[in-house]
Amino acid sequence: MTATLSVHAKTRHYPAQPAIVGMARDQVITTLRRWHLPVSLDDAELIISELATNAVRTSRPTDRISIHLRQKGLGLLIGVWDASASMPTVATIGDLTLDEIVPDPQALEHEDDRTGGWGLPLVHAIAGALQVERTFSPKGKWVIALLPAISIGVEGDRHGAA
């Protein structure tokens, strides 16, 4: 008899409206609790919040965004798609720590708001990997973060890892 590994995957579509970010975040956390993956729910919550917020900000009000979750080993791929042609810059960061994060200057110029521009550098520092892939049918892009597995019982995760 051979054992089969269940690989979880889920995609949801939302209107590109600011109000959906909180709803999408809550639905992602609920899904991850059901899947029982050894990932930080706090980190997943932050990543989905940042990526969904960016997707909504770069979309037209009539557009839709998509959020895709897929188990990768013991970790989690979090992908957010939007129809905007605007491509974020994701620099290679190597061994960057959270103390060394600097905001994305393009985001600061666009919003002219000194509190913005930190999302993708923060996601990149937390995630094991971050990439942007342009799509042509339909036109748009996926921003994808890989959230690595953590040791079970890690303290400080307000959602509880176990």
Each residue's pLDDT tens digit, 75-131: 999 999 999 999 887 655 555 565 665 665 555 555 544 455 678 888 988 998 999
What is the structure's pLDDT at 114? 46
Residue 47 pLDDT greater than 70, yes or no = yes
Query: How much of the chain exceeds pLDDT 90, in percent?
Result: 62
Q: How far apart are CA 116 and CA 110, in angstroms?
A: 9
Q: How far apart are CA 161 and CA 142, in angstroms?
A: 27
First-to-final CA distance of the chain: 29
Report whether 150 contacts 162 (CB < 8 A): no
Cα R_g (the chain), whole angstroms: 16
Residue 24 pLDDT greater than 90, yes or no = yes
Question: How many CB atoms lie under 10 A from the CB of residue 14?
Answer: 20
What is the structure's pLDDT at 62? 96
What is the structure's pLDDT at 121? 83
What is the structure's pLDDT at 98? 59
What is the structure's pLDDT at 4? 57
Give the three-class secondary structure for 25: helix
What is the structure's pLDDT at 120? 87
Residue-level length of the chain: 162
What is the structure's pLDDT at 154? 47
Question: For residue 27, what are the β-bridge partners?
Answer: none
Task: For 47-60, give one letter per residue: b (16+ CB within 10 A) or e.
Answer: bbbbbbbbbbbbbe
CATH of 9-147, one of 3.40.50.300, 3.40.50.150, 2.40.30.10, 3.30.565.10: 3.30.565.10
Q: Which residue has the higher pLDDT, 122 or 36?
A: 36
